[in-house]
Amino acid sequence: MLSSAMLVTVLLPVALAALCPCPSSPTSEDSPVCGSDGHTYPSECELQCAGLSVAYPGP
């Protein structure tokens, strides 16, 4: 059971990112943001695709 939960935790963000494509070239809105999961994301788009919210701007 625990391994299934871990697998979902790892694969779900990857699957969501595939369904929510962000621009491949940098835009003026691309700047690192810290997510509610404690990780830094290269853009708010990628953070939102992971289903998270912004904890604070910047790395």
Mean pLDDT of the chain: 76
Q: Is residue 44 in some structural domain?
A: yes
Q: Is residue 3 in some structural domain?
A: no
Q: Is residue 24 in some structural domain?
A: no
Rounded to whole angstroms, what are the CA distances from 58 to 4, 6, 35? 33, 28, 10
Q: Is residue 48 in some structural domain?
A: yes
Q: Is residue 52 in some structural domain?
A: yes
Domain that holds residue 36: 30-59
According to the per-residue pLDDT averaged within each range, which of 12-16, 20-24, 34-38, 48-52 is highest?
34-38
Q: Is residue 18 in some structural domain?
A: no
Supply the pLDDT for residue 37: 92
- Cβ atoms < 10 Å from Cβ of 33: 23
Supply the pLDDT for residue 12: 66
- Mean pLDDT value across residues 27-42: 84
**Number of domains making up the chain:** 1
**Model pTM score:** 0.55
Supply the pLDDT for residue 34: 93
